[in-house]
């Protein structure tokens, strides 16, 4: 890799030591229209040509994430995927696939009952990873129509919380109207369970995972596999579920990011995800 002497050190980081770049998807790598812009695509292609390892870190599964390179028209596959908010690591360099920290029956029941008591106008959905179904509890007609449009997985609608509790999963996902998110977060903060945690992953999505599951956990699995030190990995994110990843690496938060994530980041991009903020940062500091 070639660098200008002016750019060699970045906030105390020796750029020449960086081996891997990790990108959150929503709100970071893609814009609010769910598009990977040409400028960002070109930056990724250039980084790949320079020899950087590139990875995605998301709440989505590896199965889902692995379709993105082709969908985006990239000439390469990502080297690593941290999926399920840190419970899953697909290592394309060493060809290993690991999933950890499944939720227990007791945790699933407790989560579902809390959501049911809150009576959100949304769903309590559990994504499973050993089949092609999404199991849904506390569902309404709007949500059923949404799943009918989603061709990735088939929805199974459960009337009994005990049926949900039988599912092998690493997360429970709640979709609610954006205007109710603050109320939900306040309620959950007052009714915590020490064995699991949760966070907003989009303005209208809240996800629950085992207390050990964080994107930072996926980073630690990755570090163990590659032997990388903290400052050999740069990560880019925008909201609370990225915080542990931001802390475990040289973390950069998007200008559109949440205040808590910005407070933990080493740097903040000049522009938002809708203004090619990521591409601008990569062009300025790494290309």
Same domain, 44 and 96: yes
- pLDDT above 60 (res 185): yes
Q: What is the pLDDT of residues 156-181, one digit of tens each?
A: 888 888 988 888 888 888 888 888 88
pLDDT tier at 217 (50, 70, 90 boundaries)?
Answer: very high
45-71 average pLDDT score: 94
Our count of domains for the chain comes to: 2
Mean pLDDT of the chain: 87
Same domain, 249 and 204: no
Same domain, 114 and 205: yes
Same domain, 219 and 144: no
Alpha-carbon distance values, 56 to 138, 173, 219, 229, 238 (Å): 31, 20, 11, 18, 14
Same domain, 231 and 94: yes
- pLDDT above 80 (res 148): no
24-36 average pLDDT score: 95
Same domain, 116 and 206: yes
pLDDT tier at 110 (50, 70, 90 boundaries)?
Answer: very high
Same domain, 199 and 137: yes
Contact 136, 157 (CB under 8 A): yes
- pLDDT above 60 (res 151): no
- pLDDT above 90 (res 137): no
28-40 average pLDDT score: 96
Question: If DSSP states are collapsed to H, E and C, what string results for 124-164?
Answer: EEEECCCCCEEEEECCCHHHHHHHHHCCCCEEEEECCHHHH
pLDDT at 11: 58
Judged by DSSP in three states, 240 sits in helix
Q: Name the nearest CA neighbour of 31 among 277, 284, 235, 237.
A: 277
- What is the number of other CB atoms lying within 10 angstroms of the CB of residue 154? 11
- pLDDT above 50 (res 7): no
pLDDT at 166: 86
Same domain, 94 and 14: yes
Same domain, 29 and 159: no
Q: Which of 210, 240, 268 is the last residue of a domain?
A: 210
Same domain, 205 and 109: yes
The boundaries of the domain holding residue 250 are 5-100+214-285
| Of 208 and 144, more confident | 208
CATH number for the domain spanning 179: value is 3.30.1240.10
- pLDDT above 70 (res 4): no
Q: What is the DSSP letter of 255?
A: T
- pLDDT above 80 (res 154): no
pLDDT at 131: 58
Same domain, 93 and 223: yes
pLDDT at 10: 57
CATH number for the domain spanning 67: value is 3.40.50.1000
pLDDT at 195: 97
Give the range with max mean pLDDT: 56-70, 139-153, 202-216, 265-279.
265-279
pLDDT at 3: 35
């Amino acid at each position: 890799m070639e660098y200008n002497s002016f750019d060699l050190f970045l906030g105390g980081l020796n750029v020449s030591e960086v081996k891997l770049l990790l990108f959150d998807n929503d709100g970071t790598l893609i814009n609010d229209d769910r598009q990977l812009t040409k400028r960002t695509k070109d930056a990724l292609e250039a980084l790949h040509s320079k020899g950087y390892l590139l990875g995605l870190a998301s709440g989505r599964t590896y199965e889902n994430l692995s379709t993105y390179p082709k969908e985006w028209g990239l000439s390469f596959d990502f080297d690593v995927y941290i999926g399920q908010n840190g419970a899953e690591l697909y290592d394309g360099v060493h060809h290993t696939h690991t999933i950890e920290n499944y939720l227990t029956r007791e945790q699933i029941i407790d989560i579902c009952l809390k959501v049911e008591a809150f009576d959100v106008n949304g769903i309590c959905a559990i994504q499973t990873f050993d089949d092609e179904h999404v199991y849904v509890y506390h569902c309404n007609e709007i949500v059923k129509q949404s799943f009918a449009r989603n061709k990735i997985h088939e929805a199974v609608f459960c009337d009994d919380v005990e049926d949900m509790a039988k599912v092998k999963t690493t997360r429970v996902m709640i979709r609610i109207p954006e205007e109710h998110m603050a109320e939900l977060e306040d309620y959950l903060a007052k009714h915590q369970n020490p064995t699991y945690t949760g966070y907003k992953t989009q303005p209208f999505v809240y996800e629950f995972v085992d207390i050990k599951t964080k994107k930072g956990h996926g980073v630690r699995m990755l570090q163990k596999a590659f032997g990388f030190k903290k400052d050999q990995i740069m990560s880019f994110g925008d909201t609370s579920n990225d915080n542990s990843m931001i802390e475990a690496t040289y973390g950069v938060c998007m200008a559109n990011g949440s205040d808590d994530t910005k407070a933990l980041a080493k740097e903040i991009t000049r522009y938002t995800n809708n203004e090619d903020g990521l591409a601008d940062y990569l062009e300025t500091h790494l290309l």
